[in-house]
Every structure is written in structure tokens, then in C-alpha cells.
A and B are shown apart, each in its own frame.
Chain A
Amino acid sequence: MTRLVRRRYLALRVDCEGPLESNAVSDAIWNAVLRLFGEVGASQAGLYLVKYDDEKRYAVLRCAHKALPMVRAAIASITRIGYAPAAVHVIRVSGTLKALSRKTANTS
């Protein structure tokens, strides 16, 4: 049986001074998508922060396959998380969490 919505998993590196909570990272991504593509775009993106490791500044984000260009553009446009200057880099994109962890392990 095929899944109705194809997904993409993005491995992200967050550059920011000071500690960050996963909520702050999630909010920053949501706000960027909302600001650029509005509520319709954000609803189509199917965003979900799967994992955030503050020590490694590493996050995994899930989004809809069709919304990938939108989400990547929104992530690149992030310049602040909360009030702190920040940058979020997309390290890898994959169709499954398993492949993503394998690819990021190879990269690191």
C-alpha cells in the first residue's frame, strides 16, 4: 500500500550563540514558513520537528515532499531564533529517517 503523503526528512545544523530549546527552533521554522508562504503554504508543508539535540546543535525536520523547495527557502531565510542572531543549514535531505541517519553518519 502506498502512503498518501510522501515525506522528506531534513538534517539541520543550527548556528546560534547561547542555549536553545527545541520549541524555539520549531517556532523559528514555522514563523519563517508562515511569513513567506502564508497559512495555506504552512498547512501544506506538514512540518514536524522530529528531533533536536542542543549539544550537537543538530535537528531533524519532517515535511511534505511537495513542500520541500518552500521549506528549504524558508529555512535559509532564518536570521534569528528568538532574539538571538542565528543561521540554520540544511545538511542532508532524505526520504526516510533510516537513510538520513546513514547519510549524516557518512558525512560526519
Chain B
Amino acid sequence: MKFVDLHLCLSWKDEGQARRLIAKSAELGYSQIGVPLQPSIKPEVVNQMRLVCDELGLDFVTRLDLAPRSSGELLAGLRRFRRSFEVVSVFCSSKAVARQAAKDRRVDLLCFQSFDPKKRFLDTAEAELASASGAALELDMAQVLSGLEERSGVGIFTRLRRELGVAKSFDVPVIFSSGASQPLLLRRPQDYAALAFLFDVEASFALEALTKNPVAVVERNRKKLSLDYVAPGVRVIKETRRL
């Protein structure tokens, strides 16, 4: 089984820590990791990260985290950067941004940064839009772990149980990512699946959120970014030259 962690928060400024985090991911059994990058990052740094991942047998996925304040800002960001990254996620800070992100086909992942019910916008309308556009709901497990450390888990579990239920009923793919910035926040994929037991998620659903769903997002985008891609279902097979 190929386990994927689409959200490993590396900072190459602290290269040692970044290398430790990548090595820990490989040790815990992941085969593909997604790293959020700044749009202004130098290609040499990306190549260096890719090289470290290659050495450890990890597939490196470039990811862009957009945190727009308005839907206009989101559209501008997507227009500018979509084709430079393999995965694009949107941190939904308002309902307008969440709705725009859910209906835009260029958005891969919808993220909510807080467990405050007023800041999580995955209701049935949002799920319906996300289902039609193919956007997935991403859940950062580091956020869950630190949330449990800070306060009682009752609110967190209730919220997540409801959200995952809505996502499931509308066939919105769910992705579990680590969201870890330190090695001690990383867990084995099977441990994340076990943790999902707390929000009434079956083991098969949890494993899909760590394997099949993220793999599908990356493969779909890699196809779209390849040179022979024209439109959904259309790609260049052979070019003929006119004499």
C-alpha cells in the first residue's frame, strides 16, 4: 500500500530539521510527501529537496497553500500560480472564500484552520459544490493532536464527525495529512487511521484517506501539468509535421 502525506511543513531555512522530518517520514512508511512551498522559492532549493527525497525513496510533490482574504484574491492566486504546483490547497477563512474554492476546478484541497464552528464552512452546500468540482477535504492530524492538547476533545470530535459524515454523503474525497512541522508530531499512517476511530470513521475509509484519495489528486494533476494534456479526456498522442 502506498501511503501519502500531502502536508509536511518543511522549512529549508533550517535544513537539518527539514532533513530529519523527511527521514522520519520515510522511516514511518510514507512513500510520497507533499511539501508546501512559497511561490517565490528558488528552483535550486526545490531540486535540493527533491534530491533528499529521492535518496530516501520518497516521491516529492510540490504544493501551494493559498490563504486568500477574499474570493477575488483566490482567483488571482489560482490564475497566477496554478500551473507551477502539483497540488493547490486553500485555507478557507470566510464562507465566500470557501464557496469559491469549492466550486473552482483548479482547487485540489479545502482546509479549515480552526475547530471553531464559526470558522469551518463544510456544510451540505459546500460539499455539493466540492463534489461537483472534485475538490477534497483535507484534515491535518497535527491540528487535531495539538487541539486535543489544548482543550477537551468533545468539540473537535463532534465537529469532525459531522463534517466527515457530510463529506461522505456527498462523495467528497477526504484526505488525512500530518501537517507536521516537527518529527514528534508525525505518526505512522496506520496510527492516523487509528486516530480517526475517534470521529467514527471506519478503518477502510481512513486508509483510503491516506492512500487512494491523495494518490488520485497527485496523479490527476501530474497528468494535467504534462505537456501532452489538452483538456479533460483529450491529450496529444502524436504530433504530425506539415511538409
Interfacial residues, chain A to chain B (CB-CB below 8 A): 15-16, 35-36, 69-70, 72-73, 75-77, 79-80, 85-87, 89-90
Number of interface residues of B (CB under 8 A): 20
Contacts A87-B183, A87-B186 aside, 9 further interface pairs with beta carbons under 8 A come to: A72-B197, A73-B195, A79-B146, A79-B148, A80-B149, A85-B182, A87-B185, A89-B28, A89-B191
Q: Chain B, 60-80, contact with A by CB distance < 8 Å: what is the 0/1 string?
A: 000000000000000000000
Contact between chains at A36 and B149 (CB < 8 Å): no
Contact between chains at A85 and B188 (CB < 8 Å): no
Q: How far is the CB of A91 from chain B (nearest CB, A)?
A: 8
Bound together, the chains give a CA A42 to CA B41 distance in angstroms of 49
Contact between chains at B149 and A90 (CB < 8 Å): no
A36-B185 in contact given A76-B191, A90-B194 (Cβ < 8 Å): no
Bound together, the chains give a CA A15 to CA B187 distance in angstroms of 10
B11 within 8 A of A: no
When distances are taken between beta carbons in the complex, the residues of chain A under 8 Å from B185 are 79, 87
B51 within 8 A of A: no
When distances are taken between beta carbons in the complex, the residues of chain B under 8 Å from A77 are 145, 148, 195, 198
Contact between chains at A79 and B197 (CB < 8 Å): no
Contact between chains at B184 and A76 (CB < 8 Å): no
